[in-house]
């Protein structure tokens, strides 16, 4: 399988190392990045990986799949182009789909071009059982995120709470998944994944917590319905290069690629 990557920041660069290590049958044709970063990336990446600026050039390589890890604005700008070409798109910036216009544009493009929008589980597990519960009778879903102070710096959290003065874990935001994903695009991608896997953006409740003692990014899904109850907690280490992102996020992409490339896949 041949893939291309849009965005080569912390996650993109790590994927360029992880894919050859874990998936020898998957090759990376090229990465799309801003021209001012090309020289740096050529020094960091395997010489077989082309560093380019244009998504249309990337599509000329004929990838079976394009991985987006460039952020919400990039997904909005180039995601439809990828899908209209008939190429599947694996979306890391899943929080962008909280914007109804972006979601609608991607769905239209996928319909026109027959490319599929693929969503990795990201830092969170349990989306499979949540999806099953949706069909069995899902009534309420709450997602809670607990992260360190550093993870919330440079976000609207600084206007909601004094991050430097809290002494214990403190909830600073409660709302639905659409609000959370749009306010905190770098932190709340998981909330969007939970919403897409369950009862939708408007009905999914979200609580965001800042914790001065946190050493991990903790995610919890609580759900109830006719099927019974779900209570899932994951405490993942943050990505060393970006405290706003859990280390499991890029490895979730590896698992998605593995499922697509292997004969036997655990759905």
Crossing angle of helices 72-84/100-113, nearest 10°? 20
Which tokens is 149 given?
Answer: 């102070």
Give catalytic status of residue 72 as yes or no.
Answer: no
Phi, psi of 238 (to 5 degrees): -70, 155
121 in Cβ contact with 95 (< 8 Å): no
Which H helix or E strand runs over 3?
strand 2-6
**Dihedral sign, Cα of residue 77, residue 80, residue 83, residue 84:** negative
210 in Cβ contact with 149 (< 8 Å): yes
Residue ranges of alpha helices (H) inside the chain are 10-22, 38-44, 55-60, 72-84, 100-113, 127-137, 149-152, 157-160, 177-183, 189-197, 248-261
- Strand order through the sheet with 50-52: 50-52, 27-32, 2-6, 65-68, 88-91, 117-118
Task: Tell me how far apart the alpha carbons of residues 227 and 27 are, in angstroms, rounded to a whole number.
Answer: 42
Q: How far is CA 158 from CA 65, 80, 84, 92, 151, in A?
A: 37, 33, 39, 25, 11
Indicate the length of the chain as a whole number.
Answer: 267
**Looking at the annotation, which residues are catalytic?**
219
């Amino acid at each position: 399988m041949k893939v291309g990557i849009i965005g080569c920041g912390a996650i993109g660069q790590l994927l360029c190392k992880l894919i050859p290590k874990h998936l020898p049958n998957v090759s990376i044709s090229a990465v799309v990045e801003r021209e001012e970063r090309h020289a740096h990336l050529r020094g960091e990446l395997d010489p077989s990986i082309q560093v380019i600026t244009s998504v249309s050039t990337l599509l000329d390589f004929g990838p079976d799949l394009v991985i987006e890890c460039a952020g919400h604005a990039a997904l909005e700008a180039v995601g439809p182009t990828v899908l209209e070409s008939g190429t599947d798109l694996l979306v890391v910036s899943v929080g962008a789909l909280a914007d109804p216009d972006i979601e609608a544009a991607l769905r239209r493009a996928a319909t026109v071009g027959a490319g599929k929008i693929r969503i990795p589980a990201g830092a969170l597990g349990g989306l499979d059982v949540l999806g099953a519960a949706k069909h069995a009778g899902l009534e309420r879903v709450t997602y809670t995120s607990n992260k360190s102070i550093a993870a919330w710096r440079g976000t609207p959290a600084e206007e909601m709470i004094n991050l430097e003065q809290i002494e214990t874990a403190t909830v600073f935001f409660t709302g639905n998944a659409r609000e959370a994903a749009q306010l905190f695009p770098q932190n709340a991608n998981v909330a969007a994944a939970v919403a897409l896997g369950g009862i939708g953006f408007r009905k999914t409740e979200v609580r965001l917590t800042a914790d001065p003692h946190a050493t991990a990014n903790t995610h919890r899904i609580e759900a109830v319905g006719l099927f019974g109850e779900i209570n899932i907690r994951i405490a993942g280490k943050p990505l060393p290069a970006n405290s706003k992102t859990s280390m499991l996020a890029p490895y979730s992409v590896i698992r998605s690629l593995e499922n697509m490339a292997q004969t036997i896949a655990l759905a």
